[in-house]
A and B are shown apart, each in its own frame.
Chain A
Amino acid sequence: MTTTDATGVAAAHEDVRSPLREFWRKFRRNRTAMAAGLCLLLLAVAAVAAPWIAPYDPAAFDYDRILEGPSVDHWVGTDAYGRDILSRILWGARISLSVGLLSVLLGGVAGVALGLVAGFRGGWIDSLIMRICDVLLAFPGILLAIGIVAILGPGIDNVIYAVAIFSVPVFARLVRGSTLALKRAVYVDAARAIGVRDRLLMVRHILPGTLPSVIVYVSMRIGTSILTAASLSFIGLGAQPPSPEWGAMLADGRSYIGVASHVTFYPGLAIFLTVLAFNLLGDGLRDALDPKLR
């Protein structure tokens, strides 16, 4: 017998692809996700380029133009100090994006690792990790944050740690749940039968199965983290006034809601669009990682 495979037709089109290219090929086809990715890229560029593209100094007061609505001079209006909101949003992207992304990634990595170990090992390790998570979950955020300020002191990097800590238990529980189900899969047994050691088994065979949930949560959590970071800056942890930070802008503008709604609206919109973009991007990622989707 020479050949045994049936699909001669299929065979002609088969060529060798690297997994990365395969991923990129699938991802590229998802137009929504591409658009979202592009938006985020633009935003990142805008954040980096803020000093050059922002029309005003984000901290420059103009007492004659307080709480003005959008106009030719100030495209999205001014705030209670007469500062240009657009410039502040652009500058604020630096802080907000980095806090949102880094804290979630940090917390995500730690949480995923803990959840994997807990779900996979079970027994007392599981109990220990999960009870610690219970306590962390139960610990009110402000209290934890105050504690962190006390221990670490103020500063934007500490905000990132603080917000990351908030995320850890959620990721841990999420991943543990999926792990419990996935570790029963026959292919996990199969991997074991090959001689794959537990650590690799977790990382290579179970972790990818938990990723869809993780990606979804990461993409949502980024928005929450931006807002959480803002509440931290109000207890003196984090971005110090007058650094423009989206969440803080939003919270500050709250008093003007009935009077000058643009003060909250535009930072709110910035957060909304960013979160939307991250979510769409997240969906694109999870789809591109899903082998069953072409």
Chain B
Amino acid sequence: GPAFAAKDLVVGMPDNITTLDPADINDTLSQSASRTMLQGLFGFDKDMKLVPLLAESFTVNDTATEYTYRLRKNVVFHDGTPFNAQAVKTSFDRLADPANRLKRQSLLAMLAETVVVDDYTITLKLSQPFGALNNNLAHPGAMIHSPKALETYGKDIGRHPVGTGPYKFVSWEADTLKVEKNDKYWKQGLPKIDHVTLKSVPENGSRIAMLQTNEAQFIYPLPPEMVKMVEGNQALEIIDAPSIIARYVAMNTMKKPFNDPRVRQALNYAIDKNAYAKVVYRGYAGPLDSAIPSKLGFHVTQPSQYTYDLAKAKALLAEAGYPNGFEAEMFGRNSTNFIRGMQFVQQQLSQIGVKLTVTPLEAGVETARVWGVEKPEDATVQMQYGGWSASTGDADWGLRPLLWGKGFPPKFFNVAYYKNDTVDAAIETGIATADTAKRAEAYRVAQEQIWKDAPWIFLGVENLLAGKSKKLTGFYYVADGGLQMEEADLQ
């Protein structure tokens, strides 16, 4: 009978998985895929809240340089190897060692030493204070491999993941990953699905067709303009969740006319944020009411918003000496969505006499023209239409890479070349402590200052959209763009 039929879930994704070694992954999609099989000491729940997974509890010293974790017992890897402190040490040491050249090395770059206290206790000693360590450990990059598998497969671990997660690896060919139920999963009664297939279906229309024909039960992302197609179908529903993806235009504050805060503010006033959400995201977007999206830790909504006000914008421009506006060039990636956003901004600013040339850049060209520039003086970028998803879910990773005065390209991504001592100090304080109250205060100060200086045009926060079969439950699309499917079930 149907009750005994195997439950097979197919997920349609936009892209190919690059590797299944999370320590070496930098794309959300591969992270989601590896999360079905691997786990770390911490994780995020569906609301981006930090939750312990393989760690049961932790202690930290005042200077945030030494963390001690108690580990969960009676957990085994898929290959039968027991999970213990040694396994954690193996994975962490591997990640932290620059010689291994793993893409996520920075997550544990501050790690000085891992000490196995006993089988289920481990201490991490840091070379410098780092308050957001648990967030870093919750990052998929810090998930833990079976030490045996690491030894067996070496460099090829990315094709043979062995973890403690709810599903076991079955196969991965070209664009299809298959995993199956882990019968010995440590969470009681989970997982409920027998097989999960993750398929890459790049074309939006095709992905929706798969959902419509029930060839897939979950597809993401769902482009906002296509929501209607899913809405019409009784058997389907839409997931519309807030994300942590900020959309903004960074202005090069070292270059005229953007070196004048009044100009930057004027541009902020000149843009109708509601129209932005409507045109670019068909309404599926929220406001960016501070330098970081509201779903990030320590976010503070700024009291005085840049509401759409052309008169004020013009006045500010005139005050700054540009009564007739000016001309500028805006860079941005060449995806349809970016081009759409850029055209919107272009049109809005034209209302106050600011004439933008929109130059879409191919990914590689962008690295060369924007991110690879060695000296700020050499930067050709005037405006950069961009987006940022702080994958750690923490204010630190939402601010430090983008607005820290020591984070100019190529080191980090501060393409606004924004440097403000207050902000820099606040960011540095925030990271130097694990004390939540202190951190909150630091980030409040930073956000306030940034908002006032407006190195960006704050555009909005897009929503995460996905389509799914109504029969599918317990399947979450998390704010960082990742998927959580351990509780998934098919009716």
Contacts of B334 in A (CB 8 A): 234-236
Contacts of B360 in A (CB 8 A): 233-236, 240-241
Q: Known: A241-B343, A252-B339. Contact between A236 and B228, CB under 8 A? A: no
Q: Is the CB of A258 within 8 A of B205?
A: yes
Contacts of A149 in B (CB 8 A): 362, 365
Contacts of A259 in B (CB 8 A): 225-226, 228-229
Residues of A within 8 A of B (CB): 59, 61, 63, 66-67, 80-81, 146, 149-150, 154, 233-236, 240-242, 251-252, 254-259
Q: Is the CB of A258 within 8 A of B365?
A: no
**Cα A96 to Cα B204 with chains together (Å):** 27
A and B contact pairs by CB, cutoff 8 A, 29 listed:
A63-B275, A63-B278, A80-B340, A81-B279, A81-B344, A146-B364, A149-B365, A233-B360, A234-B334, A235-B360, A236-B359, A240-B357, A240-B359, A241-B342, A241-B343, A241-B358, A241-B360, A242-B343, A242-B347, A251-B336, A255-B204, A255-B223, A255-B225, A256-B225, A258-B208, A258-B226, A258-B229, A259-B225, A259-B228
Whole-angstrom distance between the Cβ of A154 and the nearest chain B Cβ:
7
**Cα A3 to Cα B342 with chains together (Å):** 81
Q: Is the CB of A236 within 8 A of B344?
A: no
Whole-angstrom distance between the Cβ of A205 and the nearest chain B Cβ:
46
Q: Is the CB of A80 within 8 A of B342?
A: no
Contacts of A81 in B (CB 8 A): 279, 343-344, 347
For the complex of A and B, 10 pairs with smallest distance between CB atoms = A235-B362, A258-B229, A236-B360, A241-B358, A241-B343, A242-B343, A61-B347, A236-B361, A255-B225, A234-B334
Contacts of B364 in A (CB 8 A): 146
- Interface residues in B319-364 by Cβ distance below 8 A to A read 334, 336, 339-340, 342-344, 346-347, 357-362, 364
Q: Is the CB of B346 within 8 A of A241?
A: yes
**Cα A154 to Cα B339 with chains together (Å):** 16
Q: Is the CB of A59 within 8 A of B347?
A: yes
Contacts of B229 in A (CB 8 A): 258-259
- Interface residues in B201-255 by Cβ distance below 8 A to A read 204-205, 208, 223, 225-226, 228-229
Specify which of A234, A236, A242, A255 lies most central, judged by the most chain B CB atoms within 10 Å of its CB: A236
Q: Is the CB of B279 within 8 A of A242?
A: no
A154 and chain B: residue at smallest CB distance = B359
A235 and chain B: residue at smallest CB distance = B362
Q: Is the CB of A236 within 8 A of B365?
A: yes
Contacts of A257 in B (CB 8 A): 205
Of the candidates B208, B279, B344, B358, the one whose C-beta lies within 8 Å of that of A240 is: B358
**Cα A256 to Cα B225 with chains together (Å):** 6
Contacts of B346 in A (CB 8 A): 241-242
Whole-angstrom distance between the Cβ of A210 and the nearest chain B Cβ:
37
**Cα A124 to Cα B339 with chains together (Å):** 48
Contacts of A240 in B (CB 8 A): 357-360
- Interface residues in B271-289 by Cβ distance below 8 A to A read 275, 278-279
Q: Is the CB of A80 within 8 A of B225?
A: yes
Residues of B within 8 A of A (CB): 204-205, 208, 223, 225-226, 228-229, 275, 278-279, 334, 336, 339-340, 342-344, 346-347, 357-362, 364-365
Whole-angstrom distance between the Cβ of B340 and the nearest chain A Cβ:
7
Contacts of B361 in A (CB 8 A): 236
**Cα A102 to Cα B346 with chains together (Å):** 30
Whole-angstrom distance between the Cβ of A26 and the nearest chain B Cβ:
47
**Cα A67 to Cα B226 with chains together (Å):** 12
Q: Is the CB of A80 within 8 A of B347?
A: no
B227 and chain A: residue at smallest CB distance = A259
B212 and chain A: residue at smallest CB distance = A258
Beyond contacts A236-B365, A252-B336: 19 other A-B pairs, Cβ-Cβ < 8 A, are: A59-B347, A63-B275, A63-B279, A66-B278, A66-B279, A67-B225, A81-B343, A81-B344, A149-B362, A149-B365, A150-B365, A240-B359, A241-B339, A241-B358, A252-B339, A255-B204, A255-B226, A258-B205, A259-B226
B350 and chain A: residue at smallest CB distance = A59
B333 and chain A: residue at smallest CB distance = A236
Whole-angstrom distance between the Cβ of B273 and the nearest chain A Cβ:
12
Whole-angstrom distance between the Cβ of A178 and the nearest chain B Cβ:
38
Whole-angstrom distance between the Cβ of B282 and the nearest chain A Cβ:
9
**Cα A250 to Cα B205 with chains together (Å):** 15
Contacts of A61 in B (CB 8 A): 279, 344, 347
Contacts of A234 in B (CB 8 A): 334, 339, 360
Contacts of B228 in A (CB 8 A): 258-259
Whole-angstrom distance between the Cβ of B344 and the nearest chain A Cβ:
7
Whole-angstrom distance between the Cβ of A76 and the nearest chain B Cβ:
19
**Cα A234 to Cα B223 with chains together (Å):** 18
Contacts of B339 in A (CB 8 A): 234, 241, 252
Contacts of A59 in B (CB 8 A): 347
Q: Is the CB of B365 within 8 A of A146?
A: yes
B342 and chain A: residue at smallest CB distance = A241
Whole-angstrom distance between the Cβ of A109 and the nearest chain B Cβ:
29
A263 and chain B: residue at smallest CB distance = B225
B278 and chain A: residue at smallest CB distance = A63
Whole-angstrom distance between the Cβ of B325 and the nearest chain A Cβ:
16
Whole-angstrom distance between the Cβ of A247 and the nearest chain B Cβ:
13
A66 and chain B: residue at smallest CB distance = B279
Contacts of A233 in B (CB 8 A): 360
Specify which of B226, B339, B361 lies most central, judged by the most chain A CB atoms within 10 Å of its CB: B339
Whole-angstrom distance between the Cβ of B176 and the nearest chain A Cβ:
24
B208 and chain A: residue at smallest CB distance = A258
Whole-angstrom distance between the Cβ of B186 and the nearest chain A Cβ:
43
Contacts of B365 in A (CB 8 A): 146, 149-150, 235-236
Whole-angstrom distance between the Cβ of B285 and the nearest chain A Cβ:
14
Q: Is the CB of B223 within 8 A of A236?
A: no
**Cα A252 to Cα B336 with chains together (Å):** 7
**Cα A251 to Cα B203 with chains together (Å):** 12
Q: Is the CB of A236 within 8 A of B208?
A: no
A145 and chain B: residue at smallest CB distance = B362
Q: Is the CB of B362 within 8 A of A146?
A: yes
Contacts of B279 in A (CB 8 A): 61, 63, 66, 80-81
Contacts of A242 in B (CB 8 A): 343, 346-347, 358
B364 and chain A: residue at smallest CB distance = A146
A257 and chain B: residue at smallest CB distance = B205
